[in-house]
Amino acid sequence: MKKAKIIFWITTTIIFLFEGVLVAFTSQTEFAKEGIRHLGYPDYFGSMFAVFKVLGTLSLIIPKVPSRIKEWAYAGFGIDFISAFVSIMIVDGFGFGAILPLIFLGLLVLSYINYHKMHSLSKML
């Protein structure tokens, strides 16, 4: 159980920092807005993504949030990371920018697996 907790908290904290905190502070910068435009999305997508990402990361990091809401957050981030990968591949081609969402998808999967390990082990205790 200790190993699952450590992996969960490390991966979830990384996702929280990059997809929640960083997005909250930078989503309205011109650089971020240009990134959304560059991929062909309308400007309002940036604001919408920022709200959903901040709420999603909060639901993952706060222990008292019901597991059903956490499941939706995990699903949303999975869709987000896969969509980011596809969008970047289509617009910019293969490169580090396209790989980054897959790295975060891997962290998300590790977080999800270890969340369920902790959740199932706590039920047995």
pLDDT at res. 124: 57
Give the mean model confidence (pLDDT) for residues 36-48: 91
3-state secondary structure of 25: helix
What is the residue-averaged pLDDT of the chain? 92
What is the pTM (predicted TM-score) of this model?
0.87
Kindly state the tokens that stand for 13. Answer: 């904290």
Residue with tokens 């390990």: 117
Backbone angles phi, psi at 39, to 5 degrees: -85, -5
Smallest CA-to-CA distance from 48 within 65, 28, 31, 62 is with 28
Distance CA 72, CA 70 (A): 5
pLDDT at res. 118: 86
pLDDT at res. 1: 77
Task: Encode pLDDT of 75-105 as tens digits.
Answer: 999 999 999 999 999 998 898 889 999 999 9
